[in-house]
A = this chain, B = another copy of it.
Amino acid sequence: MASLLADPARAAMLQALMGGEALTAGELAKVAGITAPTASAHLSRLAEGGLVAVHAQGRHRYHRVATDDVARAIEGMMGLAAVASPRAPWRGGETLRQARTCWDHFAGRLGVAIHAALRPDLEPVAGGWALSDSGARRLRAVGVDLDRAHTAASFCRDCMDWSERRPHLGGGLARGIAETCFAQGWVRRAPGDGLSRRCVNVTPEGARVLREALRVTL
C-alpha cells in the first residue's frame, strides 16, 4: 500500500487528483512528466490498489481518487511529510498556500479563514461539528445546499491543513460551500497543469460575498 504512494510519478498524479477533478491518463502523464505508456502502467497499479477509480468515456479514461477514505489518508501523509521534513517551500508554494482545493473542499489560507469565520456557528458533536440555526440561515442565503451536505458520510469535520498547520473544514458542508463558490463564479480554478491545478483564485466579487455574507477575512 505505502509503496503505491512512494513513487514520485504516482505521487504527482495523486496530488493532482487531490484537486478533486477527474483527469485523463494523458493529462496525468504530463503532470508527472512521463510518457503515456509509463503513466498507463502506474494508473493501472493505482486502480488495482483501490486508490483511484476509472471511468471510461469515449476514447478518454477519466481517473479520480476512489473514496474520501483514500483522500483523507493521502492528506494525512502530506501533513506528516510537511511536519517531518520541513524543507524549502514548495514549487510555487506561495500560490498553493493561499487557496487550493483539498479533495472536494477548500484548503490553504482560504480554507482556514472559512473555518475561523464559521467557528462561532459550529457546535461540537461526535466526530465533527454541527451548524447552528443562524449559521444555517447565512449559508442557505448564499445558496449552499445544506440538505445535500447532510447526506455525506460526515457533515462537517476538521481536516488538517498541511501548509497552514491548522485545521480547515471538510465533509459535506465544506464540499457544499466549495460547490457554491465555483457555481457562482466566486472562486475559479487556476489554469495550468500539475500541482497548480489545485490552486484557486477568489474573484473580487467572491471576496466581497465571502466577507459580507460569511464574514470571512482573508
Minimal beta-carbon separation of A78 from chain B (angstroms): 8
User: Interface 1/0s, chain A 123-151, versus B by CB < 8 A?
Assistant: 01111010000000000000000000000
Say whether B127 contacts A84, CB under 8 Å: no
Say whether A1 contacts B81, CB under 8 Å: yes
Flag whether A36 is at the interface (Cβ < 8 A): no
- By a CB distance below 8 angstroms, the chain B residues around A37 are none
Flag whether A50 is at the interface (Cβ < 8 A): yes
Which of A69, A84, A129 has the most B CB atoms < 10 Å from its CB?
Answer: A84
Contact of A69 among B5, B80, B124 (CB under 8 A): B80
Which of A1, A2, A5, A79 has the most B CB atoms < 10 Å from its CB?
Answer: A2
With contacts A2-B2, A11-B2 known, is A80 near B85, CB below 8 A?
A: no
Contact of A73 among B3, B66, B70, B77 (CB under 8 A): B77
Q: Which B residue's beta carbon lies closest to that of A82?
A: B1
Q: Which B residue's beta carbon lies closest to that of A75?
A: B76
* A residues with CB within 8 A of B: 1-3, 5-6, 11, 49-51, 66, 69-70, 72-73, 76-77, 79-81, 83-85, 124-127, 129, 158
Question: Knowing that A51-B84, A73-B76 are A-B contacts, what are 14 other residue pairs whose CB atoms are under 8 Å apart, sorted by A's residue number?
Answer: A1-B84, A2-B2, A2-B3, A2-B5, A3-B3, A6-B6, A66-B84, A69-B79, A70-B80, A70-B84, A72-B76, A73-B77, A73-B79, A77-B77
